Amino acid sequence: MAALTKEETEALIQEVLEIYPAQAKKDRAKHLAVNDQSLEKSNKCITSNRKSQPGVMTIRGCAYAGSKGVVWGPIKDMIHISHGPVGCGQYSRAGRRNYYVGTTGINTFGTMNFTSDFTEKDIVFGGDKKLAKIMTEIEQLFPLNKGISIQSECPIGLIGDDIEAVAKKANKEIGKPVVPVRCEGFRGVSQSLGHHIANDAIRDWVLENRDGDESFPTTPYDVAVIGDYNIGGDAWASRTLLEEMGLRVVAQWSGDGTIAEMEKTPKVKLNLIHCYRSMNYIARHMEEKYKIPWIEYNFFGPTKIAESLRKIAALFDETIQAGAEKVIAKYQAEYDAVIAKYKPRLQGKRVMLYVGGLRPRHVIGAYEDLGMEVVGTGYEFGHNDDYDRTIKEMGNATLIYDDVTGYEFEEFVKRVQPDLIGSGIKEKYIFQKMGIPFRQMHSWDYSGPYHGYDGFAIFARDMDMTLNNPCWKQVKVPWKTDDTSKVAVAAGA
């Protein structure tokens, strides 16, 4: 199907909005837009970071998900207590595939679930005593932990427990950092506020731990990788490139990261931000307090990688700049071969994305390297500054949707008819049943890494594997069957 024109896209948005009651229609209209590259600022065309409409299917998470799941969870040598009822911790356990090195249960705890397992009694009488007790138990059972963070679930804020006091007391007793995080799920409109709260907790309880301690030997080439959660090994694929060009990666925030690395971050010369949305707060804070500059970079697809490597190198001396060119040249044969193999199979295919964080704009370059086109994109929990950065990456007259509802997304897909959709697990089976190839782009559909040159090869293979899978020819989609009975046809039957 040919690409939609600007008018057609606008008409499509209006058509989709038709079903809503007047008030909801007015509100949702602000969140859907047709991309116009001539705009400098996104607030002219799209509203973001607002409360979802009651009654629609939103795909967002909560503040606890933003703090425990995204920012704190991957710090491997700390124990993160999901403080409250058991479900929040259990159902989010290990789902994000933040890989790490270490022996789980001995010196690393990434995939384990620690919870205070609230019952009625704790809600009525308060859970502070229980929290103090489990921290003592943790210290006995897992003596090699390097610290504890307390991730609040909704009831903690509702019943007014004083977790800060418990944390301070425990910190004195066990002599390790104990960080209370006020990330109750009801705070904010999405997981985005959870990222902010988690960043603030790091700022207040971790970052200044080594201020005035100059014992850590520094070099002029020290950098920190911030906002890379090592999903399927992403941070490792990124780190090797930075190290090959001559930089020293002091800290990984927070995929495969440790608390010691975080404490050393104020000593670095430059902060490299991959996921802007979840970690820009701490980068801005470090810039102000420690005068550490930060830049955003993008390690998806060879074009963007080369661009980013050169941008990073420009902030250092000639040895690093030469190093960057050497790295790009070294991998050229490798990525040229990937493109030569997969581009003919993927050329001209159209993709719709709906993810969170950095991906709605960062992966566009990787798709373009494979000759594919992104015809719609949107953020679950993006803010205006994310959309500012997206407008230039997307083609004109493409769809942009903020906090898209289940209904809108399905209608857009039915009309735009993309060849591939990249979104989350909740959307996956709906679209597969509609006969459209789908990649789960939150945790790379159990694959990865996708960052770096190594990741690009895997990315290209995965997209080809999904798109050109013969099973899609076997699926009859409801709108192509001539009889009116809309019987769902199982995929790959």
Partner 1 sequence: MPSVMLKKNAEGKLVFYVPKKDLEEVAETVEFDTPEKWGGEVLLSDGSKYYFEPIDGQPDFPVTLRAKRIDSGE
**Residue from 137, 287, 317, 334 binding partner 1 (CB under 8 A):** 287
Rounded to the nearest whole angstrom, what is the least distance from the CB of residue 201 to partner 1 in the complex? 16
- The yes-or-no answer on residue 65 being catalytic is yes
Does 417 engage in binding with partner 1 (CB under 8 A)? Answer: no
- Structure tokens given for 285: 């804070």
CA quadruple 392, 347, 297, 450: dihedral sign:
positive
- Beta strands in 130-209, from DSSP E residues, in sequence order: 148-152, 178-181
Does 414 engage in binding with partner 1 (CB under 8 A)? Answer: no
- Structure tokens given for 35: 């991309």
DSSP string for residues in 158-213: HHT--HHHHHHHHHHHH-S-EEEE---TTSSSSHHHHHHHHHHHHHHHTGGGGTT-
Whole-angstrom CA distances from 396 to 13, 16, 173, 390, 475 are: 15, 20, 59, 12, 32
Q: Indicate which residue of 63, 65, 201, 313 is catalytic.
A: 65
Under a CB-based contact definition with an 8 Å cutoff, are residues 389 and 402 in contact? no
**Residue from 128, 325, 368, 388 binding partner 1 (CB under 8 A):** 388
Residue (196 or 362) nearer to partner 1, CB: 196
Candidate ranges 87-95, 148-156, 328-336, 377-385; the one touching partner 1 (CB under 8 A): 377-385
Residue (276 or 331) nearer to partner 1, CB: 276
Rounded to the nearest whole angstrom, what is the least distance from the CB of residue 17 to partner 1 in the complex? 24
Does 36 engage in binding with partner 1 (CB under 8 A)? Answer: no
Side-chain-facing half-sphere of 443: CA atoms under 13 Å: 14
Does 284 engage in binding with partner 1 (CB under 8 A)? Answer: yes
Residue (277 or 350) nearer to partner 1, CB: 277
Rounded to the nearest whole angstrom, what is the least distance from the CB of residue 101 to partner 1 in the complex? 35
Candidate ranges 97-105, 132-140, 282-290, 464-472; the one touching partner 1 (CB under 8 A): 282-290
**Residue from 120, 288, 318, 483 binding partner 1 (CB under 8 A):** 288
Site string for partner 1, 41-80 (x = CB under 8 A): x-------x-------------------------------
List CB contacts of 486: < 8 A, sequence separation 6 or more: 478
Residue (49 or 405) nearer to partner 1, CB: 49
CA 240 to mean position of chain CA atoms: 21
Q: Indicate which residue of 28, 60, 62, 306 is catalytic.
A: 62
Helix/strand/coil for 189: coil
- The yes-or-no answer on residue 96 being catalytic is yes
Site for partner 1 in 171-210 (CB under 8 A): none
Rounded to the nearest whole angstrom, what is the least distance from the CB of residue 113 to partner 1 in the complex? 33
- Structure tokens given for 407: 């209904």
Candidate ranges 280-288, 344-352, 353-361, 413-421; the one touching partner 1 (CB under 8 A): 280-288
Residue bearing tokens 């190290």: 243
By C-alpha distance, which of 262, 257, 69, 258 is closest to 151?
Answer: 69
Rounded to the nearest whole angstrom, what is the least distance from the CB of residue 154 to partner 1 in the complex? 24
Does 383 engage in binding with partner 1 (CB under 8 A)? Answer: yes
Rounded to the nearest whole angstrom, what is the least distance from the CB of residue 41 to partner 1 in the complex? 6
List CB contacts of 214: < 8 A, sequence separation 6 or more: none
By C-alpha distance, which of 441, 437, 439 is closest to 417?
Answer: 437
Does 384 engage in binding with partner 1 (CB under 8 A)? Answer: yes
Residue (188 or 437) nearer to partner 1, CB: 188
Residue (368 or 388) nearer to partner 1, CB: 388
**Size of residue set near partner 1 by CB under 8 A:** 12
Q: Indicate which residue of 28, 195, 274, 442 is catalytic.
A: 195
Does 38 engage in binding with partner 1 (CB under 8 A)? Answer: no
Q: 376 φ, ψ to 5°?
A: -160, 140
Candidate ranges 14-22, 177-185, 209-217, 381-389; the one touching partner 1 (CB under 8 A): 381-389
* Ramachandran class of 203: left when φ > 0, alpha when ψ lies in -120 to 50, beta otherwise: alpha
Does 392 engage in binding with partner 1 (CB under 8 A)? Answer: no
Total residue count of the chain as it appears in this document: 493
Residue (292 or 339) nearer to partner 1, CB: 292
- Structure tokens given for 318: 């000639």
Neighbour tally for 314: CB within 10 Å:
11
**Residue from 27, 128, 139, 385 binding partner 1 (CB under 8 A):** 385
- The yes-or-no answer on residue 195 being catalytic is yes
Q: Which helix (H) or strand (E) holds 252?
A: strand 248-254
Candidate ranges 232-240, 281-289, 372-380, 478-486; the one touching partner 1 (CB under 8 A): 281-289
* 249 DSSP β-pair partners: 223
| H-only helix segments in 347-405 | 359-362, 364-369, 384-391
Dihedral, CA of residue 191, residue 43, residue 402 and residue 225, to nearest 10: -50
Rounded to the nearest whole angstrom, what is the least distance from the CB of residue 363 to partner 1 in the complex? 22
As a whole number of angstroms, the distance between CA 300 and CA 355 comes to: 15
Does 291 engage in binding with partner 1 (CB under 8 A)? Answer: yes
Residue (38 or 140) nearer to partner 1, CB: 38
As a whole number of angstroms, the distance between CA 255 and CA 345 comes to: 33
Q: Which helix (H) or strand (E) holds 440?
A: strand 438-440
Residue (386 or 408) nearer to partner 1, CB: 386
List CB contacts of 119: < 8 A, sequence separation 6 or more: none
- Beta strands in 269-398, from DSSP E residues, in sequence order: 270-273, 294-296, 350-353, 373-379
Does 281 engage in binding with partner 1 (CB under 8 A)? Answer: yes
**Residues that are catalytic:** 62, 65, 96, 195
Interface residues with partner 1 (CB under 8 A) are 40-41, 49, 281, 284, 287-288, 291, 383-385, 388
